[in-house]
Structure 1
Amino acid sequence: MTPVRHPLVDALKVVAAQLIVWHHLSAYGPLSDALWAQAPATADWLYDHARKAVQVFLVVGGFLAAGTLVQAVDGRRFLSLVGQRYRRLVPPFLVALALAAGTATVLHRWLSPDLQLASGSVGTWLAHALLLHDVVDVPAIAAGAWYVAIDFQLHALLAGLAWLATRLTRPERRHGMALALLIGLAGASLLHVNRLPEWDPWALYFVGSYGLGVLAAQATRGHRAAWVAAIVAIGVAALAIEWRDRIALSLTVAVLLAAWATQHAPASPIAQPPLLLRLLAAGADRSYALFLTHYPLVLAGNAALARWPDLTAHAWGVAGTGWVAGLVVAWAFARWVEQPLYRRLR
């Protein structure tokens, strides 16, 4: 059966992925310095605000994973769900890290100290393979590595809530119990834990935004007004305690998804969707590949400025070239690495 696409979800993933790439281009090395010198307002916006696109991924991730709470999850099913997510995320992640480490090694002489590979030890690679690099304070091999670990933790947490609800209550009440547990955790995160930066290596710091996405998905099952009210109430309470731009963005995306999902609930799949929708779907399907593989292009752009100083005057052209090259690399990576690994290991 052809999977039904959510065009708004696809569009959010595509836009958020591009913003993350541009944030990293504006954040590292002499390329960042040159961008700031030539267009400070734009570079400042990319550095301070484009990174908040991570919140879009968190909300969309919860929206797409919400079906887990509907399932009856015993111990074996829990391990299966966790294992599936690990196999989906980690094999391409490790390949991308090898690409980043190889690029940093080849370009070492032209990279500033903050961009050089901090460690290539077995312990460093083991920490990344186990998604514990932030927990054990191991320097990341590539920018954005922290998010892969958090995504895995959040999926495992959601599966754990479904398992707990299965154990605690009768089948007809299981879904309600799982949602109640999630709302409790999301509320605790948004009202308290998310205000403590020392918690950011853990899912509990991010489960508020992720949980808003899960609640937005409930709108597809009816009672739209009630779910939107619940989302708004939780978000407004969190912002009243402490205003956080990233949480305001999460709230906005969750309400948008909740409203759209109800008003535009998909019926039968479109045999041949319009070109724009096909492009959005293709971009969304490659958003993880772009997230994984763009960092070597950031390194290459910085090395190019060090090797050919005259390029500094054209820093925005260098950054734009890196962005376009990143799109090409992501397409190749998705086709020849990510998708084959997924088919083999799922």
Structure 2
Amino acid sequence: MGRPAPSQFGLINLLKAGAAQLIVLHHLAFYGPMSDHARALLPSLVDWFSNSARIAVQVFLVIGGFLAAKSLAPSGHAGYADPLRAIWRRYAKLAPPFLAATVIAAVASAWASRWMIHDSISAPATLAQLGAHALLLHGVLGFPSVSAGAWYVAIDFQLYALMVLALAVGGVVEGKRPLAWLMPVSVAFGATLSLLYFNLDAEWDNWAPYFFGSYGLGLMAWWASDPRRKPGYGVLMMLMVLLPAVVGLALQFRSRIALAAVVACVLFLFGRVKTAAEGRAWTLIHGLGKISYSVFLIHFPVCLLVNAAFIHFVPPEPELQAFGMLVAWGFSLGAGALFHRWVEEPLGRLMQALTPPLATAPPRLSGVSFR
């Protein structure tokens, strides 16, 4: 008998897998041109994917905060011994596969332009544009994205770096007298500013504060669900970020914020539950969750090429173009699996070998805590 499959965060993988599929389908419906023809078959469904499915990215933002709290400050205490190295390691994890996918997207756009003329095809990428992408500064510097979803990678890096720096500054503020409430209260304050001010102004959508409300909901969901805390304290911690979300929704309803709040509540209740990768269903879910970042990175150039091929070589019949959308979806998953196996994982091992291990701050104990 072989060894039992290792347990994993089943709910997180399920959410990541589902959100990744919605993002692929959103871009297929939004950018076209296959969806322009396929819409005649199911106009309501295509319109929903085009207009509403994009909010699935909130799932990744909340999960990003949840897992950042798990890795950076599992107990919610401030302090970080080597923040710059932690930020570099995050960059080394995100940027190399992202840059590889960006180059592939630039090549795919050039290839697709031979078969069709469409708004989804980007202008030829410049060296300055690729350099800005490599630094994850394309949005901040005003360069157009080469691939759909590129903004999210930059925002994820900003949010992570912001959290690392907040922990480091919090450690300095605490000094030798740990304050267990400092980070939860700081995150709640930052999330409140985001939900009630920054997220109401689209001019901030290239910066972390615009998205910190969703990220902060995830951070607090991890800390509040700590089984060592008394249940009442956990609920109090969640209310510290949920109440500003409710107030923000009352001021201006945003479906993306409503979804983020729901996902945070689900993670608070069930996010730490682990499931074994046994059975076909869970094996598939864990596998899709594992490759979700690669699917997110590579699906746009794949969809672009399939769109171009079907528009150029296949008659514009709704049934045939709808079939083309299914082909693009399937190819995106296959390409994501290959990209994960041959690009994301090897680059991850290489960057890990080139980066010294982190020296995290020692755990802090306090007589007064959110427990």
Q: Same fold (TM over 0.5)?
A: yes
> SS of the counterpart of 2:225?
helix
> SS of the counterpart of 1:120?
coil
Distance 1:232 1:188 in 2: 13
- Residue 48 of structure 2 is aligned to residue 45 of structure 1: yes
What is the Cα deviation at residue 23 of structure 1?
0.2
Residue identity matched to 2:256: R
Relative to structure 1, is the Cα distance of residues 219 and 275 closer, same or farther in structure 2, using a 3 angstrom cutoff?
farther
- Residue 232 of structure 2 is aligned to residue 241 of structure 1: no
| Bigger mean CA deviation after superposition, 103-112 or 328-337 | 103-112
Q: Which residue of 2 aligns with 1:136?
A: 141
- Residue 184 of structure 2 is aligned to residue 179 of structure 1: yes
Distance 2:40 2:215 in 1: 36
Q: Which residue of 2 aligns with 1:58?
A: 61
Match of 1:161 among 166, 170, 187: 166
Residue identity matched to 1:8: L
Relative to structure 1, is the Cα distance of residues 30 and 276 closer, same or farther in structure 2, using a 3 angstrom cutoff?
closer
Residue identity matched to 1:192: Y
Q: Where is the helix percentage greater, Structure 1 or Structure 2?
A: 1
Match of 1:95 among 96, 100, 118: 100
Q: Which residue of 2 aligns with 1:109?
A: 114
Matches within 5 A, 1:266-285: 266=274, 270=276, 273-285=278-290
Q: Which residue of 1 aligns with 2:368?
A: none
Q: Which residue of 2 aligns with 1:190?
A: 195
Q: Which residue of 1 aligns with 2:365?
A: none
Q: Which residue of 1 aligns with 2:31?
A: 28
Residue identity matched to 1:168: V
Residue identity matched to 1:204: P
Q: Residue 110 of structure 1 contacts residue 307 of structure 1 at CA under 8 Å; is this kept in 2?
A: yes
What is the Cα deviation at residue 136 of structure 1?
1.5
> SS of the counterpart of 1:310?
coil
What is the Cα deviation at residue 71 of structure 1?
6.3
Q: Residue 187 of structure 1 contacts residue 208 of structure 1 at CA under 8 Å; is this kept in 2?
A: yes
Q: Residue 225 of structure 2 contacts residue 269 of structure 2 at CA under 8 Å; is this kept in 1?
A: no
Number of residue equivalences: 339
Match of 1:259 among 264, 269, 289: 269
Q: Which residue of 2 aligns with 1:333?
A: 339
Deviations 1:222-243 (A, max 9, x none): 3332233334322211111211
Please list every run of at least 4 consecutive aligned residues from structure 1 whose deviation after the TM superposition is greater than 6 angstroms.
none
Deviations 1:264-309 (A, max 9, x none): 645xx85x64443232211111000000000112212321233125
Match of 2:22 among 15, 19, 23: 19
Distance 1:19 1:184 in 2: 31
What is the Cα deviation at residue 255 of structure 1?
0.6
What is the Cα deviation at residue 73 of structure 1?
4.1
Q: Which residue of 1 aligns with 2:363?
A: none
- Residue 304 of structure 2 is aligned to residue 299 of structure 1: yes
Deviations 1:195-232 (A, max 9, x none): 10010000000000000011111133133322333343
TM-score (norm 1): 0.92
What is the Cα deviation at residue 131 of structure 1?
0.9
Q: Which residue of 2 aligns with 1:319?
A: 325
Matches within 5 A, 1:211-226: 211-221=216-226, 222=229, 223=231, 224-226=234-236
Q: Which residue of 2 aligns with 1:210?
A: 215
Residue identity matched to 1:338: E
Q: Residue 220 of structure 1 contacts residue 265 of structure 1 at CA under 8 Å; is this kept in 2?
A: no
Relative to structure 1, is the Cα distance of residues 52 and 114 closer, same or farther in structure 2, using a 3 angstrom cutoff?
same
CA RMSD of aligned residues (A): 1.9
Unmatched segments (≥5 aa) in structure 2? 353-371
Q: Residue 68 of structure 2 contacts residue 219 of structure 2 at CA under 8 Å; is this kept in 1?
A: yes
Distance 2:123 2:116 in 1: 12
Deviations 1:163-187 (A, max 9, x none): 1101111355355312222111111
What is the Cα deviation at residue 194 of structure 1?
0.1
Distance 1:321 1:112 in 2: 21
> SS of the counterpart of 1:131?
coil
Relative to structure 1, is the Cα distance of residues 233 and 171 closer, same or farther in structure 2, using a 3 angstrom cutoff?
farther
| Bigger mean CA deviation after superposition, 102-111 or 280-289 | 102-111
Q: Residue 216 of structure 1 contacts residue 228 of structure 1 at CA under 8 Å; is this kept in 2?
A: yes
What is the Cα deviation at residue 130 of structure 1?
0.9
Q: Residue 166 of structure 1 contacts residue 174 of structure 1 at CA under 8 Å; is this kept in 2?
A: no
Distance 1:305 1:199 in 2: 38
